[in-house]
Structure formats: structure tokens, C-alpha cells
Amino acid sequence: MTPGRVIVVGGGVVGASAAYYLSQRGWEVDLIDQGKVGEACSAGNCGYICPSHVFPLCRPGAIAKTLPLILRRNSPFAVRPRLDLHLISFFARFAMNCRDDLMQETSVALHDLLQHAKDCYEQIIREERIDCDLETRGCLFIYRDAHHLDAFASENEYIRRRFGFCAKRLDGRELARLEPTLRDDLAGAWLFESDWHIRPDRFMAGLKSVLARRGVKVHEDCPAIGLNAQNGRALAVQTPQGMLAADAFVFATGAWTPRLKAMLGCRLPIEPGKGYSMTADFTPGQPTYPMIFEEHRVAITPWKSGLRIGSTMEFAGYDESIRPERLRLLTDAAPHYLREWQLPQFKEQWFGWRPMTPDGRPYIDFSPKLSNVMIAAGHNMIGMSTGPGTGRLVAEMLSGESPGFDPRPFRIGR
């Protein structure tokens, strides 16, 4: 498509990245968001840029491992009991995707997307001089139980054979020497030295400033409430601030995408998975490595400017409450792994909805009903890791270029 005017709906990392790469290609870009650009999940996550995250949640054995967690009180994985046919359908499709062949197919697709996104981060941060506390030291996947530590060896070998990189195994003593804040009675860890981390709110603030310099028009507190279409093409998006006409439209609307089915011409099987985080200022003696406590499903990210602890997964619909017991899951996990360092006073509590899909892949494709509308949503728990790669792919596809990697695994209707 010849560059003209494009409306990007959704100001998270995916939408903002799409706006950035579209403006590079000569498009006149308007970026609209129902709240503030760069907030929500793109600000409150743990900031991991992780090529290591190639495996989806749906894999052989996932159901058997997850059911005990659902039944456990205050589990990191929770489903709020309710009669919801869409949620039932989602879990049924999730179960059908827990096959080895599909897991491998998804891992290849996610690897392509993750690697391209990492390249995009390197380019954007360097060329645009965005100060976002970037660290390239890697990420620790930490285990208390030796059996669980050993079990990852086969997955690590698959990553090595299939993708040409892998994690370094550390026993408990090596781990304690590498990261002295950790207890010395842990089984060990796997260190993915290829992983990076950033402070996501600072990256998004920097990217928002870059968009302004590039002439992208930003409309905040401006939800899309309708889409005018004719003869299989969208003409304008309706907002409280008026009609915005364009030649093309991109919907990067995350967990809200299913609520826009009337506009998009399809209902995608995306469910909101609620996650939490807490953020503190920098504390002397805090960890130096980002780390994931595997048995407790909790992550800690240290920055020069602070620290964040986050995770949990709760299927509770679009519930907007912050539940104290879910936050306690984060802090209660820490003493099982950290030695003497005390958790700081957290000044910010946050929750957000991750857009979960039953096969672990996002949807990056044109609408089946509207030829000039693209959808880029459903990035599960790796939206920050994949956002710029998705944005560049959207810009390539909308501009009629040969994409940098195969987009077919992300098609709608797969």
C-alpha cells in the first residue's frame, strides 16, 4: 500500500512501535489511546527483553501441572469462578494446543519475533538515545528444587540445537557467588546471557518523545468507539474527539481487542490475564541480576533507578481491583530465595491485563473483513519483549514490503 494517513489505535509498546516504523516509511501517523500513551501493561511489566522466552504456556504436561495450582489457595495461577463461555472455550483450545509438535511450531515463530524485536530495541535505543536503564547482563531462572532444575536441561538443549544459543547452568554455590543476595541453599539456576532488561516506563516515555519529534500526532484519552466502513474498507474511526479519517488503520489494543469485535469484523480468542507488580526506589544491596523464581512464578528486576517485583496470572475478567493477597504472593516468595536483603518499601502498586491467546502466539494480520485494517494483539506475557518486532512487521506488511520474518504463524484464523 502506498504510504498515506494511518490511524494506530493503542498506545502501548506494540502500537507506539508500529507508529515509529510507519513514520519512518513516510506514513502520516495518528496514534490514539483510550488512556495515556505508554501506560498500562507497557509501563508496569518487569521490562524483560528475553529471546529465551520461546516456549508458550501451552505445552505437553501443562494441564497436569496447572490444575494443582488452580486448586491451591493463593496460587500464582488463579481462575476466578464464573460462568463465562468464552473463557471455557479458551481453556478448551489451550488444552488442544498442549502438543509437542504445536509447541515446537510456536517456539520457532516466537524465536523469530523475539530476535527481531531485540534488534529493534538495540537500534531504537542507540539511534534515538533513549535512557531506559538498559542492562545486557542476562537473566537468571532460579530453582529451589534440584529436580525442577534438572528438568529444564532438555528444553535448554532443544533451544541450543534449534536456535543456536542456550543457558549456562549454575549450581547453588556458583549462583551465590554470582549474585550474593541469593541464599546459598538453592539448587541452582540457568543463566540466559542473551537476555536484556530495561525500565519499561522510561523506554515508553522516551519513545513517546521520539514520536512527537517525528511528527506523529498523539491523541490521549481518546478511545475508538466505532469504525465507519464501506465496501470492505474502513474509512474513519469514531472517537469522542471526533471522526478521524485515514487510508489504513492498525489496532494494537491488547487485552481489549475482543471488545472491539464489531469494529474489527472478527472476535479473536484473547483473554485478559491479570498480572501485578510493585516498584521501589533503588536500595543499596539490591540484586544486580534480573531473576525469575521458577517455583513461585515471581520475577524481580533491578535497575539503576529502582527495583520491581511482579508476576502472577489471574483470569478474573476485566476486574479492576487490586487484591492485597495477590500482592502478598510477590513479597512472600522473596525470602525463599533472597538471603539477608530486605524487600524495600514499595511506592507503587500496579495491575494490568495481559492479552492471552490459547496457542501462545499473537495475531498480526489484516482483518478478514476490512482490507485496510491490521490487527496486532495477543502478545501474552511477552508483549514488552516482542513489541518493537511486531511494530516493524506491521509497518512492513502495511507498506507492501517483504517482511523480515515469516508472518504466517501469526495469521488470524490459524
Cα 296–chain centre separation:
19
| Confidence grade of residue 82 (pLDDT, cut at 50, 70, 90) | confident
CA distance 29 to 327: 39
| Confidence grade of residue 264 (pLDDT, cut at 50, 70, 90) | very high
Q: What's the pLDDT score for residue 89?
A: 94
CA distance 108 to 113: 9
Q: What's the pLDDT score for residue 198?
A: 98
Domains of the chain: 60-98+135-196+271-356 (3.30.9.10)
Residues 6+ apart with CB under 8 A from 294: 141, 142, 143, 148
Are 8 and 32 in contact, with CB atoms under 8 Å apart? yes
Write the pLDDT tens digit of every residue in 300-342. Answer: 999 999 999 998 899 999 999 998 989 999 999 999 999 877 7
Q: What's the pLDDT score for residue 84?
A: 85
Q: What's the pLDDT score for residue 73?
A: 67
CA distance 183 to 337: 6
Write the pLDDT tens digit of every residue in 57-76. Answer: 999 988 877 766 666 666 77
Average pLDDT, the chain: 95
Write the pLDDT tens digit of every residue in 225-257. Answer: 999 999 999 999 999 999 999 999 999 999 999
Q: What's the pLDDT score for residue 66?
A: 73
Write the pLDDT tens digit of every residue in 86-137. Answer: 999 999 999 999 999 999 999 999 999 999 999 999 999 999 999 999 999 9
Are 375 and 264 in contact, with CB atoms under 8 Å apart? yes
CA distance 376 to 120: 17
Provide DSSP, 239-299: ETTEEEE-SEEEE--GGGGGGGHHHHTS----EEEEEEEEEEE--TT--SS-EEETTTTEE
Q: What's the pLDDT score for residue 69?
A: 66
User: Higher-confidence residue: 78 or 147?
Assistant: 147
